Chain A
């Protein structure tokens, strides 16, 4: 039966396999593949091998790995994959700030081709000239897009790029004998949370600025924050609420005046690509997430890439090696005077680099600008229709248009019906939609953040809008249906009060057994 509101909505039901954790599937002695016993003549000649290892170095018991046959492993992971709701399945505009766009499958083929797959970072430079050329040219593309003077493709994620920026800034101050006194890094509450987190991981004290009434980071607060202890500023623009700060050059000026370094978090540059550059706002460093703006798929902790750019002065501190070209051949350039060293082993996540390169080559300069333009238009199409839904609002900036995303609020809906943003999120899952609330803390009350990028058609955007309208209608007419959601999903509501309880959380199986006991797990044998 189709829901009354929004004929485009699907009768979706997520697959549920009631699948156990792979450790719980384990049966003692079960193997993926059984190998034959070693032949007698061989063991007679060389022994069993193991007894050659000194007793003190031998394990007393085998590692507690799951023992599961190959066919059951295959089924296990296929079942789990069916319980997923990935970007290639749903209309993933509800994952605001993450810039979910289409990752052309031909680029996967290119990255998976033998030419790309079978090269090894230990090969001599002369045998990987093609790969080095791609890295070098991608550096040139990013210079053009950002106005910076040199890029390192080494960092393996956006947060890793931020950590590398923090290391570069630390080194810069160290060379000037100021690393010990400049221990504060400034960011804003609507910048990516990793700007604070990764800088804190480098050892910086974090100072956070809150927005003014218009949603802009408060310039007066910045002036109160800067001092001789300021190491730098990490800031996103447009910030995660989708508002572009036109006074950004004033921010970099204030920080420069006290000797700080400015890093531009352009993880998501999707609304400004080809429109405005880090150079014009006088940033010293910037980075792009190739798995956001430049179409490589999000790895969910898997392979990613945060390309880190620097001005000529700051390029002296970038990680080594960079990729150079002497007019005849491409080479790994270790001649970086004040380099921070390596940010990771080898040179970067090459398959991701290759996918971004392929995407840029297929789009061309005009295409990049066009992608940004369409992303902004799509966003403002949703903005127009979402703000017409009674109960949804767009705090700040008096309803004016936004760049590539918007942080909306369900506060009015909540006050009227008691249905909150979390309830709406769970109910939307019943129609195969994902809606993400937003980064914490919730400065915007009852938030939800939507970013459509350039990839989705009007029909898909309308389907998503129908989902929102339908759930809002239900909130008014049958709120219990919303509050008891999800009804068609694999996992129901869970107790949130233990999220931050170190006695309860477990991110490994071993920790789970330790904290919850073996009886909590269904262990065989």
Chain B
């Protein structure tokens, strides 16, 4: 018997159907309802759980009351233990947080949650990387990498975890998109954090890349390349993202996963620095920017690393930008260029062109960078 947690955000996805680009917050939900939105999260969760009914005897299902899991488990004929219930029929983000914490305390091996980026953000805030989790895509915004390709795939991954066929977890990005901006057609994403998800690349990413070498192995190879290239007389401005982390680990330095660090001659000069701090540390000295695309859209600059501003880029200059990315990440872009959206058109034009993206040790790929069209 393995403990499986299930949290359904019952209102996830309602905003999308009526053009609201999200359902974050009570006002938006009210507006969605006025526009005639109906919930789909239950139905998507049912699709996922269908893959588990055959192995129900191997599962101890823990869930939350009412529409947050209890109802859909019953509909699928799965026995479930409740670890709590929402305080009000109109569930909120607080209920998701409370449910995730309760699942963590109960020691679930996998936490399945149905929702979108907002739900992922709430789960991430509640349990961080302490619990292995996986999203059933049911929300409007799916920019985070913590969701299975579709509800069926989510159920299949859960079944594989229960059967002991997937025994490894990897960190995946949780992106935070501001819905207010999104409704105004401004996509301002930032990297919110990471969740640990089962290592089932085939089902999670729909075989986008299927590299025989995992991202983790290739990130280590990229780190070796960067370390080999380092010069003691330069500053290295290291951007956010897991691809940059093994590089810092190799140097024995702390890496700010969601921020920017500055190092020189093997020492950390600045940690989680702002744009102004970068400029004052570097102060016209030679420097290299190590940066990796963040999120699923291939944004190299301008999403999740806004500290690396046009002024910082001018200081670094184009030829001193070391772009790092695994082949898997590049393949997932499906031929689309890497994007730069620094907020300054001239800087974006300056940054456009072909780059040597470091993809491994002594391996690089020529890849195009351009502003979003």
Contacts and interface: CB of A to CB of B under 8 A. Distances in A.
Partners in one complex: yes
Interface of A: 189, 196, 200, 204-213, 218, 220-222, 224-225, 411, 414-415, 418, 420-422, 437, 440-443, 445-447, 483, 493, 495-501
A446 B365 contact: no
B165 A445 contact: no
A207 B199 contact: no
Interface in B140-198: 149-150, 152-153, 156, 165-168
Interface string B216-229: 01000000000000
Interface in B325-373: 327-328, 330-331, 334-335, 353-354, 356, 359, 362-368
Q: Which of B202, B208, B363, B366 has the most CB of A within 10 A?
A: B366
Q: Which 5 A-B pairs have the closest CB atoms?
A: A224-B354, A418-B152, A221-B366, A442-B210, A205-B362
Interface string B199-210: 110110011111
A440 B367 contact: no
B214 interface: yes
Contact of A500 (B208, B214, B363): B214
Given A211-B335, A441-B331, A442-B207, A205 B363 contact: yes
Nearest to A207: B364
B364 A440 contact: no
Contacts of A496: 202
A500 B168 CA distance: 12
Contacts of B213: 500
Contact of B364 (A205, A212, A220, A421): A205
B199 A497 contact: yes
B362 A210 contact: no
B276 interface: no
B212 interface: yes
B331 A442 contact: yes
A446 B363 contact: no
B366 A208 contact: yes
Contacts of A437: 210
10 contacts: A200-B362, A206-B362, A208-B364, A208-B365, A209-B366, A210-B367, A420-B206, A437-B210, A445-B334, A497-B200
B297 interface: no
Nearest to B170: A497
B211 interface: yes
Contacts of B167: 495, 497-498
A200 to B, nearest CB: 6
Contacts of B166: 495, 497
Contacts of B209: 440-442
A356 B168 CA distance: 47
Contacts of A224: 353-354, 366
A411 B206 CA distance: 8
A218 B334 contact: no
A445 B150 CA distance: 15
Contacts of B153: 418
Contacts of A205: 362-364
A422 B156 CA distance: 14
Given A196-B363, A210-B330, A446-B206, 12 more contacts: A207-B364, A207-B365, A207-B366, A208-B359, A210-B365, A221-B354, A221-B368, A418-B150, A440-B211, A442-B207, A497-B167, A500-B212
Contact of B363 (A208, A212, A447): A208
A419 to B, nearest CB: 9
B207 A446 contact: yes
Given A207-B356, A207-B364, A221-B354, A445 B217 contact: no
A495 B210 CA distance: 14
A421 B217 CA distance: 24
A94 B193 CA distance: 42
A220 B354 contact: yes
Nearest to B334: A445
A153 B207 CA distance: 39
Nearest to A410: B207
A467 B41 CA distance: 37
Contacts of B363: 196, 200, 205-206, 208
Contacts of A213: 335
A499 B213 CA distance: 8
A258 B13 CA distance: 55
Nearest to B200: A497
Q: Which of B156, B203, B354 has the most CB of A within 10 A?
A: B354
Interface string B32-76: 000000000000000000000000000000000000000000000
Contacts of B368: 218, 221
A422 B203 CA distance: 10
Nearest to B225: A205
A422 B207 contact: yes
A207 B327 CA distance: 12
B206 A445 contact: yes
Contacts of A208: 359, 363-366
A456 B347 CA distance: 57
Contacts of B199: 497
A441 B327 contact: yes
Contacts of A495: 165-167
Contacts of B203: 420
B217 A442 contact: no
Q: Which of B167, B207, B214, B364 has the most CB of A within 10 A?
A: B207
A186 to B, nearest CB: 8
Contact of B335 (A210, A422, A440, A483): A210
Q: Which of A209, A211, A225, A500 has the most CB of B within 10 A?
A: A500
Contact of B202 (A196, A422, A501): A422
A339 to B, nearest CB: 27
A213 B202 CA distance: 25
A204 B152 CA distance: 44
Contact of A420 (B165, B207, B356): B207
B168 A498 contact: yes
B203 to A, nearest CB: 8
A141 B150 CA distance: 54
Nearest to A221: B366
A169 B175 CA distance: 47
A315 B354 CA distance: 35
Contacts of B367: 210, 221
A437 B207 CA distance: 11
A64 B137 CA distance: 53
Contacts of B207: 414, 420-422, 442, 445-447
A441 B165 contact: no
B364 A206 contact: yes
A493 B156 CA distance: 13
Contacts of B206: 411, 414, 420, 445-446
Nearest to A208: B365
Contacts of B156: 418, 483
Contacts of A493: 165
A372 to B, nearest CB: 30
Contacts of B328: 441
A210 B366 contact: yes
Nearest to A183: B362
A440 B366 contact: no
A464 to B, nearest CB: 22
A385 B363 CA distance: 39
Q: Which of A210, A211, A498 has the most CB of B within 10 A?
A: A210
A220 B362 CA distance: 22
Contacts of B168: 497-498, 501
A397 to B, nearest CB: 13
Contact of A443 (B150, B152, B331, B354): B331
B356 A440 contact: no
Contacts of B356: 207, 225
B209 to A, nearest CB: 4
A520 B333 CA distance: 42
Nearest to A483: B156
A251 B202 CA distance: 35
Contacts of B200: 497
A218 B214 CA distance: 26
B364 A500 contact: no
A138 to B, nearest CB: 35
